[in-house]
Amino acid sequence: MDQIKIFTPASVANVSCGFDVLGFCLDTVGDIMKVSKTENPGVTIGAVTGQELPKDPLKNVASVAASSLLKAHSSNNGFRIDIEKRIKPGSGIGSSAASAAGAVFAINELLGRPYSRNGLVKFAMAGESLASGAAHADNLAPVLLGGFTLVRSNKTLDIIKLPSPKDLVATIIHPKIELKTIHSRAILKNEIPLKKAVEQWGNLGAFISALYTNDYGLLSRSMEDKIIEPIRAMLIPKFNDIKHAAIDAGALGSGISGSGPSVYSLSKGEAKAKKVGQAIRTYYDEIGLDYEVHYSRINNEGIKIL
């Protein structure tokens, strides 16, 4: 096999109670990547459509991740990466993670699959690090493994795939302002109250239990974040209105996707997810802010070969 075409999906990280550890994978939003073996060694960026991305292999997330894999594998193969970039950078749904994970996934396939999907996370981290200033696996893990994932340790990359209750549908609203992860991170406080931390880990524990038991009520009650969300909410126009409108419209819960500005909601069933979308878009219609709305089931597979 000399060439592969893949769908590499968007993802939601920092899922409410699971800041820096919990993410899930989307199904209807993602990039298309085509990776081809080349005669000369090294990684090059070929055609890029949809968004402006650096062509310099040292500055492009996909090629940096790819090079990290090739270095470890001591491969002399060369690869060209063509990217149809559909996920907007800075939208908060894992644009750089899709590129980084997609590149290493595709090359791993072309090399005869020397690494497991889980084993690819560490190479993709090199790309993520370039994009966000700090290497975090909480978007990469759901893109590579699919479903909900927990990053137990970002240092040792101890990553757990969690079950996904089948009726969950995400509604994502993306107000068209750009937020850099590095800025959203800068406004966080280094110290937090122990009392709130205890509430947060109680909620995360309950959320994970609910995934295993398909307990939508418990899932809903545990979708709380009293630590990060109150700080980052100020970066997102109308966040509190949108969140309350989503819950009033029947969402199980709602929160900031990644480091924003996208806002995700989870609902039981597509009808409710659509109702949530209708309810929240009115807030950006009113103020005349451009936006996109996506609906997606949880993508339990992750990256797909086309």
Contact 201, 14 (CB under 8 A): no
Cβ closer to a second copy: 72 or 218? 218
Positions in 98-157 near a second copy (CB under 8 A) = 150-154
Stretch that binds a second copy, among 24-32, 38-46, 121-129, 185-193 (CB under 8 A): 185-193
Could you say which of 41, 202, 230, 269 contacts a second copy (CB under 8 A)?
Answer: 202
Instruction: Give the residue, chosen from 5, 20, 86, 226, that forms a contact with a second copy under the rule CB under 8 A.
Output: 20
Question: Which of 135, 177, 218, 289 lies at the binding interface for a second copy (CB under 8 A)?
Answer: 218
Shortest distance in whole angstroms from residue 246 CB to a second copy: 21
Residue 209 found at the interface with a second copy (CB under 8 A): yes
Q: How many chain residues interact with a second copy (CB under 8 A)? A: 40
CA angle (91, 85, 42) in 5-degree steps: 120
For 158, what's the count of Cα atoms within 13 Å in the CB-facing half-sphere? 4
Measured in residues, the chain has a length of 306
Q: Which amino acid is at 199?
A: E
Question: 6, exposed or middle or buried, with CB in 10 Å at 0-12, 13-18, 19+?
Answer: buried
The CA distance from 285 to 253, in Å, is: 22
Looking at the Cβ atoms of 35 and 206, the one nearer to a second copy is 206
Residues annotated as part of the active site: 128, 181
* DSSP output for 74-99: T---EEEEEEE--SPTTSSS-HHHHH
Collapsed DSSP state (helix, strand, coil) of residue 143: helix
CA dist., res. 212 & res. 2, Å (int): 40
Nearer to a second copy, 20 or 292 (CB): 20
- Answer for the pair 140, 123: CB distance below 8 angstroms, yes or no: no
284 residue type, one letter: Y
At how many degrees (to 10) do helices 95-110 and 121-132 cross? 150
x/- letters, 227..266, toward a second copy (CB under 8 A) = x---------------------------------------
Looking at the Cβ atoms of 171 and 222, the one nearer to a second copy is 222
Q: Among all chains, which residue has been given the structure tokens 């101890």? A: 158
Q: How far is the CB of 197 from a second copy (least distance, A)?
A: 4
Q: Which of 1, 194, 287, 306 binds a second copy (CB under 8 A)?
A: 194
- Least distance from C-beta 232 to a second copy, angstroms? 13
Smallest gap from Cβ 185 to a second copy, in A, equals 10
Q: Which residues bind a second copy (CB under 8 A)?
A: 17-22, 150-154, 158, 160, 162, 188-195, 197-209, 212, 218, 221-222, 227
